[in-house]
Homo-oligomer: A and B are copies of this chain.
Amino acid sequence: MTALDHLRVVLVAARNPLNIGAAARAMANFGVRRLRVVNPYEVAFREARSAVGAADLLAEAEEYAGVAEAVADCRLVVGTTAGTRRDLQHRMLRLELGARTIKRQLTIGPVALLFGSERYGLSNEELSHCHWVMRIPTREDHSSMNLGQAVAVCLYELARGQKAAVKTSTEKRDKAPATSGEVERLTRSLFEVLDASGYVKPRAAAATETNLRRMVRRMKLNADDTVMWLGMLRQMAWKLGTTGKKQEE
């Protein structure tokens, strides 16, 4: 059980089965399970239930006739909007800030997050059930968001930081950097190949070698890539007829 189990996503008067399905899929992606639908377009809801990707979640979705019933067990009810709605009577918080408040509440008890219909968003009556409104910071000139995308962005922000510490440990598993000895071996192999190619001017040999050494270090190679480079250079050296040996098969 995580705090997000206390979140109820409430879709009010959704019309498009693809959007209901997309909302459910985003919920599954970010670990939110409880979907409630208020007065959905009947056919849309039936079709959505057969959508792929979040079948369990849709099968368990609860249907309500009105917003009041759908949020009855919640101690905090938050409406959502994209862009700026100038007619709002409500306090409006940007998503980042609002999410922080919601996360605190989720540790205590159920919170409802309401999304309005694709066409009109939340009506004033529907908003009247909300404590405040959360705004997704879209551009003024293209403020209206797709319902499924709005749900995804809100849930991403709410899920953010959960178990972050656990995840980052396995991700930072960079390959071991090469040792200085290996890097120097590579530098010398490269110099030899270049010398055999006629790249190195006798009078500037020392300067060229210094430049190469610096450049090779800038490459910040890991151990595996160094081995690969040494193999490639050995093969070039062999072909160019220097002391290098042919690549082992």
Name the CB-closest residue of B to A82. B29
User: Would you call B94 and A167 a contact (CB within 8 A)?
Assistant: yes
CB neighbours of A228 from chain B (8 A): 211, 215
Interface residue A138 (Cβ < 8 Å from any Cβ of B): yes
State whether A225 and B235 are in contact (beta carbons under 8 Å apart), knowing that A136-B156, A139-B28, A199-B247 are contacts in the complex.
no
Closest chain B CB from A236 CB (angstroms) = 5
Interface residue A17 (Cβ < 8 Å from any Cβ of B): no
Separation of A184 and B49 alpha carbons in the complex (Å): 47
Closest chain B CB from A89 CB (angstroms) = 10
Given A94-B167, A190-B232, 10 extra CB contacts under 8 A: A22-B148, A22-B149, A31-B142, A92-B171, A137-B159, A137-B167, A193-B236, A196-B239, A199-B231, A199-B232
Residue ranges of A at the interface with B (Cβ–Cβ < 8 Å): 18, 22, 25-26, 28-31, 53-54, 82, 91-94, 96, 135-139, 142-146, 148-149, 152-153, 156-157, 159-160, 164, 167-168, 171, 174, 190, 193-194, 196-199, 211, 215, 218-222, 225, 228, 231-232, 235-236, 238-240, 246-247
